[in-house]
Amino acid sequence: MQVSTLGIDLAKSVFQLHGVDHNGNTVLRKRLSRARFVQFVINLPPCLIGMEACSSSHHFGRLFREHGHQVKLIPPQYVKPYVKTNKTDAADAEAICEAVTRPNMRFVEIKTVEQQAVLTLHIERSLLIRERTAVINSLRAMLAEFGFVIPGGRRQVHQCASDILGDDENGLSPLVRSSAARQLAHIRELDNQLSQVEKELTAWFRSRPDCQRVAQVPGVGLLTATYVVASVGNVQQFGSAKQFAACVGLTPREHSSGGHQKWGTSANGGTAIFASFWFTGRERWQPGFSEPVREPPWLLALMQRKPHNVAVTAQANKTTRILWAMLRRGTEYHPATPA
């Protein structure tokens, strides 16, 4: 049995394998448990392995590369057209095995351990912010039921809630008072955890020269710089700035048929990276933006004839292309000088 191409359908406990030889003939169909899966693949002669870019795929990709295999990760939406008839684990593995050999297939770069570690901090920060927002809304709603309205803004919560709990003569029920105190303590604990996460991101930011170069671009700060460098990794995988912008999702998405063109926006890179670039462009027009920026003539003209969000997307697209050029060429940011 000489396997030249192996398609693997990943799962939590059961892994389906489909292998073909150099002539495209099926020579392997196997279903393995997690305990036997890794050792079986490692013992195979070096071959091309295809997997969907999903949970644990980067871990297995790094592991199999260390043992001489050539590993390629495919976005799941690109595998679906190759699935024949019914969807099963065996059919998915066969589809992956066929898709990985296509000459025009697009692949996902395997992330390093360091990249995934930094992205873990970003995921944790996002979860903590959502949890803190939920607790704050719960505390506001609970106190509002008893006639205590907290003004808008997150900073008002700590002061107003502390004043309400410190007033023993306001008629607040002891049960509500104890519940509000626990929620307020939980909010403060979440604030401390967020501060710790941001300290770790700051330390990694200061240790990476590419992050510091990226942060020179107006509107790009600590969070955007660290997320972009960690999520993109090897920017050489993108042949042009347009490919990078399309991966992020800041290029128009076409859905046309019969000569009728329909355009929209895509978020191919995921919500997080799309939002980081979009808010980077939006932040530059906020009243409290710390860095004075002289907008280029093309953007000023676009703002006059297009809606605000369209201009923001255009600016975010431009920022994406600038970052691609800086990361690919290893250059510093040079602001455009007026003619």
Spatial distance between the Cα atoms of 148 and 165, rounded to a whole number of angstroms = 11
Separation CA 122–CA 120 (nearest Å): 5
What is the signed CA dihedral for 252, 253, 255, 256, rounded to 10 degrees?
30
Bridge partners of 48, per DSSP, are 5, 70
Which positions ≥6 away from 91 have C-beta within 8 Å? 83, 84, 85
CA distance 142 to 137: 9
79-86's contacts with Cβ under 8 Å and 24+ in sequence apart are 79/52
pLDDT tens digits in sequence order for the chain, 339 residues long:
689 999 999 999 999 999 999 998 999 999 999 999 999 999 999 999 999 998 899 999 999 999 999 999 999 999 999 998 888 999 999 999 999 999 989 898 899 999 999 999 999 999 999 999 999 999 999 999 998 989 888 888 988 999 999 888 888 899 999 999 999 999 999 999 999 999 999 999 999 988 898 888 887 888 888 888 888 877 888 888 888 877 777 777 777 777 777 666 555 545 556 666 656 655 555 555 555 456 677 777 877 887 877 777 778 888 888 888 888 888 888 876 655
Query: How far is Cα 64 from Cα 41, in angstroms, rounded to an integer?
Result: 8
The amino acid at residue 101 is T
- Lookup: tokens for 257: 């048929």
Dihedral angle over CA of 269, 275, 281, 284, nearest 10: -150
The runs of H, that is alpha helices, within 67-215 are: 76-79, 89-99, 113-144, 155-166, 174-207, 209-214
